[in-house]
Amino acid sequence: MYKSLIRPILFKFDPEKVHYFTFSMLKNFPFLTKLFLPKPVEDKRLEREVFGLKFKNPVGLAAGFDKNAVLFNELSDLGFGFIEIGTLTPKGQPGNDKTRLFRLKEDSAIINRMGFNNDGVDAAVERLKKNKNVLIGGNIGKNKVTPNEDAVNDYKICFEKLFPYVDYFVVNVSSPNTPNLRELQDKEPLTHLLGTLQQMNVEKPSPKPILLKIAPDLSDDQLLDIIDIVQDTKIAGVIAANTTLSREGLLSENQSETGGLSGKPLTQRSTEVIRFLSEKSNKAFPIIGVGGIHTAKDAIEKLDAGASLIQLYTGFIYEGPELINEINTEILKRCPKI
């Protein structure tokens, strides 16, 4: 239904406008979900316990889709096992100038240069107070105007304000759309940032998992540094991977747009990063696999490479909500019968 009827209509219009239109429809007419979409797959065998949290299934929604925590309850009803909101910054900001979101239809991909557009952490907190038992990840970043030497303070503000309302945190230093942000992935500033947040975390009565979201463009040496940093700071795990700056092999006319590339062109590289981290660390920490998951096979490959959970974004846009069921159904085929 989605790919044959709904997607062809949506793809005729500007992608950012379609995004907000879809949000409005799901928010104001939730019955449409039950009317047009299949019932989510539910089975106890899909449950996963990862970094101390119980997920009803291993298929989550990646950050960037519900930046402002507007639709997490409705999106969970589509069958996601968890929803990651954000990236949130201390103060609301408009992001980069429009047009800033581009479909690459021939490549089943998207380029975005959104620039952490969001309403600010306080607005998200008010919405999260209406959470109907959805497992939520809070993806946090820094404001564009905050210099890198002061970035840790932005992350601390978001961490403190979100702490009562999310189940885990994701530190985003890997978006290519905030100037100089990726410099925070260097070993010294990253160790300082994660160490600071982890110190705040362990002082809480019930600490929460902190994960690091990394770029797929890191070299092997940089990935080895990431393993060292995760183990030294004792954070809970890694999300691999964010969007890429690579444009290799693209066919679409929008390929020259600046920004981060997501979708099928990222499938292989993100799986390679997952496998490298898993093998070189001897599976020392959980990995959430994201990047180019458009089929159940893509998801299984990431799980086999070492991911404990997976997330969808661009694949969700191209393939529709049915993809969640397809992945969970394929996972169930690999589970022993109860």
The domains located in the chain, with CATH, are 2-333 (3.20.20.70)
For residues 327 and 321, what is the distance between their CA atoms, to the nearest angstrom?
Answer: 11
Residue 221 pLDDT: 96
Cβ atoms of 220 and 182 within 8 Å: the answer is no
For residues 156 and 153, what is the distance between their CA atoms, to the nearest angstrom?
Answer: 5
Give every residue of the chain whose pLDDT is below 50, as ranges: none
Task: Report how many helices (DSSP H) and strands (DSSP E) the chain contains, helices first.
Answer: 12, 13
Q: How are strands ordered across the β-sheet holding 260-263?
A: 101-104, 109-112, 260-263
Residue 38 pLDDT: 82
Catalytic residue, chosen from 108, 175, 262, 281, is: 175
Is position 108 annotated as part of the catalytic site?
A: no
3-state class (DSSP) for residue 136? strand
Residue 182 pLDDT: 94
Binding site membership for FMN: which residues? 63-67, 87, 139, 172, 213, 241, 263, 292, 313-314
Binding site membership for substrate: which residues? 67, 112-116, 172, 177, 242-243
DSSP 205-245: SS---EEEEE-TT--HHHHHHHHHHHHHHT--EEEE---B-
